[in-house]
Amino acid sequence: MKRVLVSGGGGFLGSHLCDRLLKEGNEVLCVDNFFTGNRRNIHHLLDNKNFELLRHDVTHPLYVEVDEIYNLACPASPIHYQFDPVQTTKTSVIGAMNMLGLAKRLKIKILQASTSEIYGDPEVHPQPETYKGSVNTLGPRACYDEGKRCAETLFFDYYRQHKVAIKVMRIFNTYGPRMHPNDGRVVSNFIVQALQGKDITMYGDGMQTRSFCYVDDNIEGMFRLMNSRDGFTGPVNIGNPGEFTMLELARQIIELTNSKSKMIFLPLPQDDPMQRKPLIDLAKKELDWEPTVNLREGLVKTIKYFESVI
């Protein structure tokens, strides 16, 4: 039995990862300051003898004994990460240093939950791991984009300089149960608006594209990466290569919710990427991983969750 630390374990992805790790027979130390995480996400785990919750901010050092670390701590939606951009950068950068320092001291593996946002508004489509990105360092999204880019740099410097065993995962748009209803992400936005009969807010002309990965597929990829062969560091894209316009997504959600909502069109936010689609050849080769849940199937499950919480 391994004792596994999950920073950001009270969040959307973190809580699903805690579920998976416990199911695999591990002890889990869930670390979260609940800035964006929600205790409701892990409430069902509090009585599990193999689960421990520690309220802690990763920008401060942490001294615990564990066998593996998954570093997921960071606000991940524009509304949340732009609310306190300085703290967002500190969480990505100082948080990564603290988690890497712990991994170095304990001589253990550590996985970084990085992001497709490190590619910025891409000039290469779809995006391979070799693409270096097109990011505006001065814009309102930079606190997240550049914070995650710097975290990747730190991970590879600790790997080269201190021989820390690292795994770096670039997460593309992920959705599913336990998303925050007000996190500003497009799937949760559209579903909540449709269920409440409100106008669907479409930014730009709705022709920008995203690729949506259901949460169970994401966690499977994360688990396989942590347990991949020694020496394989990544970075590796984890996402669903199915590509949809925002208009296509909105129409599917309106249909699935039987909503009477109408679409309204608003200006596109600054630096909002026009295209996002992962190349997942590396994940297929190294992890024998590819997504199994299609968008319609995943939306049905996600809508059912939101019907129970709003």
The rounded distance, in Å, linking the Cα atoms of 27 and 29 is 7
Look at residue 38 and tell me whether its pLDDT is greater than 80: yes
The rounded distance, in Å, linking the Cα atoms of 210 and 208 is 7
At 22 the pLDDT is 98
Q: Which band of pLDDT confidence, cut at 50, 70 and 90, is reported for residue 117?
A: very high
Q: Is the dihedral of CA 255, 221, 31, 74 positive or negative?
A: negative
Look at residue 189 and tell me whether its pLDDT is greater than 80: yes
Over the stretch 66-92, which tens digit does the pLDDT of each residue have?
A: 999 999 999 886 777 788 899 999 999
Q: Which distant-in-sequence residues (6+ apart) come within 8 Å of 43 by Cβ? A: none
Q: Give, to the nearest 10 degrees, the angle between helix 12-23 and helix 215-226.
A: 60
Enumerate the active-site residues: 144
Over the stretch 208-250, which tens digit does the pLDDT of each residue have?
A: 999 999 999 999 999 999 999 999 999 999 999 999 999 999 9
Angle at 113 between CA 107 and CA 115, to 5 degrees: 145
Over the stretch 259-304, which tens digit does the pLDDT of each residue have?
A: 999 999 999 888 888 899 999 999 999 999 999 999 999 999 999 9
Q: Is the pTM of this model over 0.85?
A: yes
